Amino acid sequence: MNTTRRNFIKTTSTGAAALALGGILPQFSAASYAQIAGANKRVRVAVAGVNSRGRALAANFANQPGCEVACICDVDGRAIEKCLKSLASRTDKTPAAQRDFRRALEDKDIDALVIATPDHWHTPAALLALQAGKHVYLEKPVSHNPLEGEMLVEASKKYGKVVQIGTQRRSWPNVVEAIRHVQSGGIGKVHFGKGWYANKRTSIGRGNPAPVPASLDWDLWQGPAPRVPYRDNIVHYNWHWFWNWGTAESLNNGTHMIDLLCWGMNLKYPTKVSSLGGRYYYQDDWETPDTQIATFNFGDRATLTWEGHSCNPKPIEGSTVGVVFYGDAGSVYISGGNDYKIYDPKGKMIKEVKRDNTIDPNNKVSPAQRLDAIHILNFLDGIRNGAPLNMSVEEGHQCTLLMQLANISLRTGATLATDPATGRILGNPEAQRYWTREYERGWEPKV
């Protein structure tokens, strides 16, 4: 277990991981929390992309002691209005509002940018924030393509700011406990793990050309992506299923599960990646697969698999989201929530730790607000005190890259050989074309 894990387990062992409403730890009032070293140092954040997930994050950040949501940013004025309304009862001071998050970066009093934009903006926005001297809280996936992830890792070192990735399960106490059990040899040697995601998504239909809504800055929404005409079935969620802006279910949800598997099994980059799937359920504009199976081989160490079922919600192992670690002395199952089960070698359950908060993994906005507050507090402690992060940008790039490699394998129809030291593709020029993307001229990201 690395230093971050040890520090977190030590912290949670004092009871600090049990959360009360609003994200404040139950044994601390807001006043007593401020007595913790560094907790009274106010951190002022701007939140970019507040239509859905970002609105929930803005509320969660606003709930934390010593944190002020100073500015909310969105290219759609309607989203700004909704977010301001949701924050009205959580803060004494109305946040500033900006259509263009770059204006917020010009404010020297803002310490950090929280990014919950569409995927194609993730790395470009983070790079601009780092260049402006801001810390970054970045929702997964880290990047739209592998080169962007490498750029962000480089930039985080160059600018020396705190960059926390929003794979929040890294901070959920029962999940941490389950991972610790796997890492400590509790189920023996583990050479295979599987993850999955299942949902019942409906057709997005065929989009029609339409006037851009007056509330929406369509040019800024597209940002670094090559320009296309506005259609009525893209904004605000269906962009996930178009390669120009989204990264498929594999990175929308699979990133979380593949991260748990790599974390528990101490795996970094694979030697081979293969993936198959397609858009099977509907004939519409949806470009990415609605059904996908990905396999990752780590030489003679281990094999991982991930299954994505976007249009069939039948649970696997009793949950629509989860992972299983298979060891030679038993197995560990973690569902989509803050709970786990341990089985002996014959498949008999010998321990069950149940969740103490309601989790809805299919909730697109805020599936686990109270638990996610731990992750946010870790980010704030990183800013205030230099505390180790529960999810670094390097680890975020790693799990993102695995799922990007799966998508590249699927799109090229090839099994990819990869460098176990870097994750880079070996000997396949066609697949290598997907390592980066085309950018709108003048919007290219730079370190």
pLDDT, tens only, 327-364? 999 999 999 999 999 999 999 999 999 987 655 555 54
pLDDT, tens only, 168-192? 999 999 999 999 999 999 999 999 9
pLDDT, tens only, 359-403? 555 554 455 678 999 999 999 999 999 999 999 999 999 999 999
Structural fold of domain 3-170+377-385: Rossmann fold (3.40.50)
All structural domains of the chain with their residue ranges: 3-170+377-385, 174-205+221-363+394-435
Q: Where are the beta strands (DSSP E) in 128-281?
A: 135-138, 163-165, 190-198, 272-278
Query: What percent of the chain is modeled with pLDDT above 90?
Result: 86
Lowest mean pLDDT among 25-39, 59-73, 226-240, 323-337: 25-39
- Chain centroid to Cα 376, Å, comes to 13
- Is it the case that residue 10 has pLDDT exceeding 70? no
The whole-angstrom separation of Cα 290 and Cα 27 is 44
On whether the CB atoms of residues 109 and 81 are closer than 8 A, the answer is no
Order the strands of the 163-165 sheet from edge to edge. 96-98, 67-73, 43-48, 112-115, 135-138, 163-165
- Is it the case that residue 7 has pLDDT exceeding 50? no
Taken in order 387, 9, 423, 407, the sign of the CA dihedral is: negative
CATH number belonging to the domain at 174-205+221-363+394-435, selected among 3.40.50.2000, 3.30.379.10, 3.40.1780.10, 3.30.360.10: 3.30.360.10
Provide the pLDDT confidence category of residue 39 given band limits of 50, 70 and 90: low
Query: What percent of the chain is modeled with pLDDT above 70?
Result: 88
- Burial status of residue 56 (CB atoms within 10 A of its CB: 0-12, 13-18, 19 or more): buried
pLDDT, tens only, 61-113? 999 999 999 999 999 999 999 999 999 988 889 999 999 999 999 999 999 99
**Cα angle vertex 13, ends 45, 162, to 5°?**
25
- Chain centroid to Cα 212, Å, comes to 29
- Is it the case that residue 232 has pLDDT exceeding 70? yes
Same CATH fold assignment for domains 3-170+377-385 and 174-205+221-363+394-435 = no
